[in-house]
């Protein structure tokens, strides 16, 4: 089928404002969903689900969260790991105190807890910008993780200092804990991602998204046309932290199974998620997902590719090669295409739309 929008006339503003105004895009998304829900679980083995797909889905959710804050509202955050930790620890506390609450509901509740914490650490954003704000979010990163590490209440005074996903069922299906299958955890992560990606898309194409972008592009002018800077920024912090919080809950309950604060470390989580949105595209929901895929897949590729050619690849060497590729790619993309993969995808579509004509 040719990728054409000729002949697709919109007869109302409602149709013009749709998420996917072009028919072919709608078909494509439908196809992706069918594959994700119907085909992948049939063909993917345990390793692929556990080591690749589940972390990809969860990090994509966190990346969308950070992209709302950094890519849309222009507020740089290095505290993603901490906000994810809030979600994970909140889930742990709530579900151990109230085991009868549906765990999926608990995930969402933990998102709200993270949103509250996000608001507190977003408060300085009224007075400070850019890399100054990055320092404020670093304070969140170090302080929150220290708190979860030191105060036994957060991990129920567990002697190992870790939080462990207890077995939980929803409609009789084991969804968390050691006996939950990878397939179930995959479905849960996928569903959370699909729903929240759509909600995020709705937010960014409406009034709130425009307010965020206005603040990002020129905060002074935004204030002068009546956008309240504090409310707008705090809402961005709250919603972004909500997403990160839910992602953090899934990170422990649908992926790791058990974790301590190190799992949410700056270098383990906060930086990689930032790289996902730079590489995928600042200010793009699709870009967040593409970026997450890239960051998750690259190390797997680097460890496995040399083995195919029988080349030795010590792990620390592959780690440093990864750093070089990441660092180089970030500098390269910021220079040539700050909108990342998402923009390249768009360009490809524009070319396809005109094909076979060059212009």
Q: Which of residues 218-247 bind another protein (CB under 8 A)?
A: 218, 220-229, 235, 239
When asked if residue 142 is in the footprint of another protein (CB under 8 A), the reply is: yes
Q: Give the residue, chosen from 1, 2, 14, 308, that forms a contact with another protein under the rule CB under 8 A.
A: 14
Residue 65: alpha-carbon gap to chain centroid: 5
Nearer to another protein, 245 or 283 (CB): 283
Cα-Cα end-to-end distance for the chain: 20
Residue 195 three-state SS: helix
| The two three-digit tokens of residue 305, written as one number | 């590719």
Nearer to another protein, 248 or 281 (CB): 281
Helix boundaries (H) for 39-126: 40-43, 46-47, 54-66, 80-97, 103-122
Nearer to another protein, 27 or 146 (CB): 146
User: Taking CB under 8 A as the criterion, which residues in 117-136 touch another protein?
Assistant: 123-124, 127-128, 130-132, 134-136
When asked if residue 322 is in the footprint of another protein (CB under 8 A), the reply is: yes
How far apart are the C-alpha atoms of 43 and 66, rounded to whole Å?
Answer: 31
Strand partners, 176: 168
CB of 181 to another protein, least distance (A): 31
Q: Give the binding range for another protein (CB under 8 A) out of 13-21, 40-48, 184-192, 286-294.
A: 13-21
Residues ≥6 apart with Cβ < 8 Å to 82: 117, 137, 140, 141, 142, 143, 144, 145, 264, 270
Q: Give the binding range for another protein (CB under 8 A) out of 11-19, 36-44, 86-94, 160-168.
A: 11-19
User: Taking CB under 8 A as the criterion, which residues in 174-203 touch another protein?
Assistant: 199-200, 202-203
What are the angstrom distances between the C-alpha of 346 and each of 36, 43, 342?
22, 30, 6
Q: Give the binding range for another protein (CB under 8 A) out of 50-58, 159-167, 304-312, 332-340.
A: 332-340
Nearer to another protein, 98 or 146 (CB): 146
Mark residues 41-60: x for contact with another protein by CB under 8 A, - for none. Answer: --------------------
Mark residues 245-284: x for contact with another protein by CB under 8 A, - for none. Answer: ---------------------x----x--x---x----x-
Q: Give the residue, chosen from 9, 45, 97, 207, that forms a contact with another protein under the rule CB under 8 A.
A: 207
Mark residues 283-312: x for contact with another protein by CB under 8 A, - for none. Answer: x-----------------------------
Strand partners, 173: 170
Q: Which residue bears the tokens 């704000």?
A: 133
CB of 52 to another protein, least distance (A): 22
User: Taking CB under 8 A as the criterion, which residues in 71-90 touch another protein?
Assistant: 74, 76
CB of 116 to another protein, least distance (A): 15
290 and 341 Cβ atoms separated by less than 8 Å: yes
Task: Compute φ and ψ for 170, nearest 5 degrees.
Answer: -130, 120
DSSP track, 109-156: HHHHHHHHHHHHHHGGGGT--HHHHHHHHHHHHHHHHHHHHH-GGGGT
């Amino acid at each position: 089928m040719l990728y054409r929008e000729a002949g697709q006339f919109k007869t109302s503003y409602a149709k013009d404002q749709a998420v996917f105004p072009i028919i072919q895009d709608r078909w494509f998304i439908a196809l992706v969903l069918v594959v994700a829900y119907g085909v992948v679980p049939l063909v993917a083995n345990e390793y692929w689900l556990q080591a690749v797909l589940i972390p990809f889905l969860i990090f994509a959710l966190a990346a969308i969260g950070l992209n709302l804050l950094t890519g849309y509202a222009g507020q740089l955050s290095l505290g993603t790991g901490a906000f994810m930790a809030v979600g994970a620890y909140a889930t742990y506390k709530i579900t151990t105190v109230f085991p009868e609450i549906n765990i999926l509901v608990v995930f969402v509740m933990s998102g709200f807890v993270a949103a509250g914490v996000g608001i507190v650490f977003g408060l300085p954003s009224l007075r400070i910008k850019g890399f100054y704000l990055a320092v404020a979010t670093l304070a969140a990163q170090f302080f929150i993780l220290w708190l979860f590490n030191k105060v036994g209440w957060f991990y129920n005074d567990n002697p190992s200092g870790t939080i462990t996903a207890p077995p939980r069922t929803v409609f009789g299906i084991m969804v968390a804990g050691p006996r939950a299958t990878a397939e179930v955890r995959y479905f849960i992560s996928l569903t959370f991602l699909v729903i929240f990606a759509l909600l995020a898309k709705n937010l960014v194409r409406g009034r709130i998204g425009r307010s965020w972008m206005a603040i990002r592009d020129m905060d002074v002018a935004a204030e002068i046309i009546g956008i309240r800077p504090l409310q707008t920024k705090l809402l961005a912090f709250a919603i972004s932290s909500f997403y990160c919080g839910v992602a953090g809950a899934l990170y422990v309950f649908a992926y790791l199974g058990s974790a301590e604060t190190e799992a949410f470390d700056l270098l383990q989580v906060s930086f990689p998620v930032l790289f996902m949105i730079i590489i995928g595209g600042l200010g793009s929901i699709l870009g967040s997902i593409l970026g997450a895929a890239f960051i998750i897949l690259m190390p797997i590729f680097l460890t496995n590719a040399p083995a195919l050619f029988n080349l030795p690849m010590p792990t620390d060497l592959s780690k440093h090669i990864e750093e070089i590729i990441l660092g180089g790619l970030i500098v390269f993309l910021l220079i040539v295409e700050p909108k990342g993969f998402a923009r390249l995808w768009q360009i490809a579509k524009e070319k396809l739309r005109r094909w076979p004509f060059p212009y």
